Amino acid sequence: MSTQFRWCVCAIALSACTATRNEALAGASLGSSLEPRVAVASVGSEEQGGVEAADLSLWHDPAFRRQFTASYLAETEIEPTVTLPERDVMQNVMQRLATDKVDEAIALLQKSLNPASSAVFDFTLANLYFQREQLEPAARSYEAAVEKHPKFRRAWKNLALIHVRRGAFEPAAQALTKVLELGGSDAITFGLLGFAHSNLEQHLAAESAYRMACLLDPATKDWQMGLARSLFKQRRYADAAALCDDMLAGDPQRADLWLLQANAFIGLGQPQRAAQNFEVVDRLGGATAESLESLGDIYVNEELFDLAVAAYGRALEKRPEARPLRALRAAKVMTARGALDDVRALIARIEVVAGATLDPADRKDLLKLRARIAVAEGGSEEEARVLEEIVALDPLDGEALILLGQHAGRIGDHGRAVLYFERAAGLEAFEADAKVRHAQLLVGLGRYAEALPLLRRAQELQPRENIQQYLAKIERVAQTR
């Protein structure tokens, strides 16, 4: 037992449990760490900075530990009383604690408990359980204390802490609100109330609580970060980004701040600034697969395809067992934009990093990408055979049927090309694209009038401006024939 704790115990014994002290918050001296998850939930959850209880640095703050120790001492104006016999019991309990005989103290309290006994007994026993990380019995004892004495503020406060530690945020918010009603308006109470409201998706209430915590304790970063997250969750991206700027000025090595601000920039429609932040996060060692995929998406949209390939490659290395869905989607976009060399590089990276664990559907997508590249470059019999294998495995793969049709058209086998396009058009999801490809084949053969119904049907199914312009052009040509 620490010297400080021993001193407090002795002071209680001498004052017979009636001394008034500052309120306390339990937990940091309790010894165990909590396992968190911070999310920016996507602009996802994990990107913008959702946070779990263990991420709060206050649990390990020496001042917080001193506050828990002080919670053994009474606040006379809102405290339960003890009778003279109960005072004698408490003196015996504190003497045992002063000599590190904690088990004996617990046994003595348990023996003395009954429905008529003072709430001080339940509270002291709860504190001892809490210090030992025995959260369930601690919560039961705090609940017994507030049931006996509903205005027992210290008991409400420590009960709230247990709820926070266990992730029970609704009862935590209720208990913390009770603490405020009883006059316990300190920074930690407001901060944890903001944390509870945030986890309940009550972001306006969380903002209000966090602002009060920041007002009372502007030095604690937990509350500032909580405020920034609550602003982000309310889609007040400019405010969130500005607050991150203020915090980064004092602590530029915090990757979570750069990450949160990056997602705020995305919300503001400033992808280039977001990309700069994601790169900083990566250099600070705080990048996740999600943040690197977001960086790759930005580079694809900006047509910086070589940088996109590098970003997706780093994302794959962070999470090689996961399906490379965003990298594959980007490869398809890059193929459509003609960045074939970059697509080859990305395919090679996917196969090197995740090839051994690729899902069959993802492997098929890679084969189709290779075939698409071959078709774009004039086609090859080898790639056509790959596509035929895909269709043999999945006759309803409309994309492969369309690629086979394009390949057949390029090598002059128009009858087979039409057959493939018609098969693809029989699949609802691919009908519009198949009819456009079929129409393009007919236009190439000078059969403009036959192409027009196909293009009109494609526009009915999926109106697109570029196809409408193409249709108008073919109509003009057909009228001159």
Quick one: pLDDT at residue 382? Answer: 67
108-162 per-position pLDDT tens digit = 999 999 999 999 999 999 999 999 999 999 999 999 999 999 999 999 999 999 9
Residue spans per domain, the chain: 1-202, 359-481
Q: d(Cα 103, Cα 314) in Å, to the nearest integer?
A: 53
The long-range contacts involving 273-277, CB below 8 angstroms and separated by at least 24 positions, are: 274/298, 275/299, 275/302
CATH homologous superfamily for 359-481? Tetratricopeptide repeat domain (1.25.40.10)
What string of DSSP letters covers 194-208?
Answer: HHHHHHTT-HHHHHH
Q: d(Cα 61, Cα 68) in Å, to the nearest integer?
A: 11
Quick one: pLDDT at residue 481? Answer: 72
CATH top-level class for 1-202?
A: mainly alpha
> Left, alpha or beta for 378 (phi > 0: left; psi -120 to 50: alpha)?
left
Quick one: pLDDT at residue 27? Answer: 33
Q: What is the rounded end-to-end Cα distance, in angstroms, of the chain?
A: 100
**Topology match between the domains 1-202 and 359-481:** yes
In degrees rounded to 5, what are phi and psi of residue 40? Answer: -30, 25
Q: Which residues of 56-71 are buried (b: 16+ CB within 10 A; e: fewer)?
A: bebbebeebbbbbbbb
46-78 per-position pLDDT tens digit = 444 456 666 677 667 776 666 666 565 555 557
DSSP lists the bridge partners of residue 305 as none
Residue 60 is classified by DSSP as: G
Q: d(Cα 49, Cα 42) in Å, to the nearest integer?
A: 9
Q: d(Cα 47, Cα 41) in Å, to the nearest integer?
A: 5
pTM of the model: 0.68
In degrees rounded to 5, what are phi and psi of residue 19? Answer: -70, 140
Quick one: pLDDT at residue 45? Answer: 40
The stretches in the chain having pLDDT less than 70 are: 1-55, 58-59, 63-77, 375, 378-380, 382
Is 39 strand, coil or helix?
Answer: strand
